[in-house]
Amino acid sequence: MTKPPRQIRLGAHFPGVNNTTVWSDPRAGSQIDFASFTHLARTAERAKFDFFFLAEGLRLREQRGRIHDLDVVGRPDTFTVLAALAAVTDRLGLTGTINSTFNEPYEVARQFASLDHLSAGRAGWNVVTSWDAFTGENFRRGGYLAAEDRYRRAEQFLRTSWQLFDSWHGDEVVADKDSGTFLADAGAGAFGHHDDQFDITGQFNVPRSPQGRPVILQAGDSDAGREFAAATADAIFSQHNTLEAGQAFVADVKGRLARYGRGHDELLVLPAATFALGDTDAEAQENALQIRRQQVSGQTALLFVEHVWNRDLSDHDPDGPLPEDDPVVGENTIARGRASVRQIRDPLAIARQWRELAEAKKLSLRELVIEVTGRQTFIGTAATVAAQLDDLVQQRAADGFILVPHVTPGGLDEFADKVVPLLQERGSFRADYETETLREHLGLPPRPTLEGELR
C-alpha cells in the first residue's frame, strides 16, 4: 500500500503595495474597498485554503524625498479587515502582519485574543520587526530601535504576548446564574512580565480564546530571523521556492528546532509563490512575460535600481545599461519605507553581480530588473503547476505556499478553479475542511501554555 501524499498548506496573500500587483490591468479593482477583500477571502475559502494573509505597512514609501507613486498606494488596518472578514467566511484562517516595534504587547494581545474569539479560532499573526526612525515618525513614542535590538524586542514582545494569552486558563468564566458566580477566580488574567524591553504588570482583560494563542507566522531570512522563527513560530513565510534552495532552507530552519525542544512538524515552511497560468505551457509562458512587462515599467526599473545604487538615477535611460559608477554605500537615503531596501546588505556585490549578468545576457537596465526580481514561481497549465507545487512539497522543499496573485481581487480565481481540483485529485490537498480552527487546519499541535513549556 502506498503512503498517502504529504498534505499541502495554502495561504492567499491579498495583493499589496509593491510592483507584484498590477493595477493597470483592466481587471484590477480597488485595493481598499471591503468588497475586494471579501472576494479574495471567499475565493480562498471556496478552494479550502488554510488562510488569508494581509500584509501591513506603517508609513508610505518614499523615494528621492517624495511618496512613491508608481505602485498601489494605500491599505487598510490589518485587525479591522480581518475581523470584518470573519463575518463573511466560516473556516478560513485570518492572518495578518502586526509590527512588534510600533505596538505594545497588552494592546496587541487583546486585539488578537479578540479576533480569535470573534472568528471562533481562526486568528494568525505574522510577527514582523522594524527599527527605522522613518516609520517611527508616525508614532507618538517614536519606536526607534537599534537594528541589532529588533529581534530581541520582537522575541520579548511575543513571549510577553504569550504570557498574556495564557494568563486565562479557559475555565474561569462559569457564569452560574443561580449562585451568582461569574468568575471562578478573582485573579484571572493576572500577569507580571519584567525584562529589558517590557516591564508590565496587572490583569489581562480578555478571557482565553478558542486557539489560546493565534498561529504565529514569521518572515525573517537572516540568521537571527531564522533562529527567532525556530524558537517561536508556527510557520515561516520564506522566499526560497525552488527545489534546491527550498530543501536547503527547510533543512536549515527545521534543523534549528531541536534545540528548542520542538519537532519537525511544529514549524511549517511556506514560501511566497506567484503563478501564471495558460491553456498550454507556451501560452502560460507568454502570459508570464506579459505580466512581467506590466509589473516592471521603465520608471519602476529605474527606481528599483536606485534602491541598490542609493542615489538619484532619474537621468538614466531604463532601456540603456546599468550605471557605471558604484553604489553609494551607507544608510539608504534615496528610498525609504521599503522592506527590500532594508535587506540590501552589500550593494557593491549586488552591483557587480548585476553587471556581470547584464553583460552575459545582453540586458538593458529594465530587462535586468525583470530578470532579477520576482519572476513567477509557477508557470504552465493548471496540470503543470499542480505537479510542480506538489513535487516541491513531496520532496520536502516546502510544506505549502502563500500564493501572491498579481491582480486584485480576482487574481486567485483561476488558481482556485483549475489548480486546486487537480491537487485534490492527487490527494495532497483537502477536499473540504475537516477541522474548525486555523491551528487544526495546519496540522499543528496545540501550543502548550507557558507553564507547560520546557523552554
**44 φ, ψ to 5°?**
-65, -40
Residue 111 found at the interface with another protein (CB under 8 A)? yes
Q: Which is nearer to another protein, 77 or 425 (CB)?
A: 77
The Cα-based distances of 196 to 131, 224, 231, 286 in angstroms read 17, 19, 19, 55
The stretch among 27-35, 385-393, 396-404, 425-433 that binds another protein (CB under 8 A) is 27-35
The stretch among 237-245, 296-304, 317-325, 326-334 that binds another protein (CB under 8 A) is 296-304
Question: 3-state DSSP call for residue 248?
Answer: helix
Q: Which is nearer to another protein, 88 or 372 (CB)?
A: 88
Residue 107 found at the interface with another protein (CB under 8 A)? yes
Q: Which is nearer to another protein, 120 or 224 (CB)?
A: 120
Q: Which is nearer to another protein, 25 or 281 (CB)?
A: 25
Q: Which helix (H) or strand (E) holds 203?
A: strand 199-203
The runs of H, that is alpha helices, within 70-180 are 78-88, 105-118, 133-136, 150-165
Query: Cα(149)–Cα(134) distance, rounded to whole angstroms?
Result: 17
Classify 329 in phi/psi space as left (phi over 0), alpha (psi -120 to 50) or beta: beta
Whole-number minimum distance, CB 116 to another protein, in Å? 10
The beta strands (E) that lie in 14-122 are given as 51-54, 62-63, 66-67, 93-99
Whole-number minimum distance, CB 140 to another protein, in Å? 3
Residue 118 found at the interface with another protein (CB under 8 A)? yes
- Binding-site residues from annotation: 97, 151, 222
- Binding-site residues from annotation for FMN: 97, 151, 222
Residue 228 found at the interface with another protein (CB under 8 A)? no
Residue 92 found at the interface with another protein (CB under 8 A)? no
Query: Cα(238)–Cα(217) distance, rounded to whole angstroms?
Result: 10
Considering only residues 166-225, where is the footprint of another protein by CB under 8 A? 168, 173, 175, 177, 180-189, 198-203, 205-207, 209
Residue 24 found at the interface with another protein (CB under 8 A)? yes
Query: Cα(227)–Cα(256) distance, rounded to whole angstroms?
Result: 7
Whole-number minimum distance, CB 115 to another protein, in Å? 6
Residue 243 found at the interface with another protein (CB under 8 A)? no
Whole-number minimum distance, CB 388 to another protein, in Å? 32
Residue 300 found at the interface with another protein (CB under 8 A)? yes
Query: Cα(242)–Cα(398) distance, rounded to whole angstroms?
Result: 9
Whole-number minimum distance, CB 216 to another protein, in Å? 19
Whole-number minimum distance, CB 77 to another protein, in Å? 4
Which of 27, 87, 325, 333: binder of another protein (CB under 8 A)?
Answer: 87
Which of 3, 140, 345, 362: binder of another protein (CB under 8 A)?
Answer: 140
356: how many CB neighbours lie within 10 A of its CB? 10
Query: Cα(113)–Cα(108) distance, rounded to whole angstroms?
Result: 8
Is the separation of the CB atoms in 376 and 291 below 8 Å? yes
**DSSP states of 253-317:** HHHTTGGGT--GGGSEEEEEE-EEE-SSHHHHHHHHHHHHHHH--HHHHHHHHHHHH-S--TTS-
Residue 319 found at the interface with another protein (CB under 8 A)? no
Residue 152 found at the interface with another protein (CB under 8 A)? no
Considering only residues 45-74, where is the footprint of another protein by CB under 8 A? 57-60, 66-67, 69-74
Which of 34, 144, 260, 433: binder of another protein (CB under 8 A)?
Answer: 34
Cβ neighbours for 309, distance < 8 A, ≥ 6 positions apart: 323, 325, 327, 328, 334, 347, 351
Whole-number minimum distance, CB 78 to another protein, in Å? 9
Residue 333 found at the interface with another protein (CB under 8 A)? no
Whole-number minimum distance, CB 312 to another protein, in Å? 16
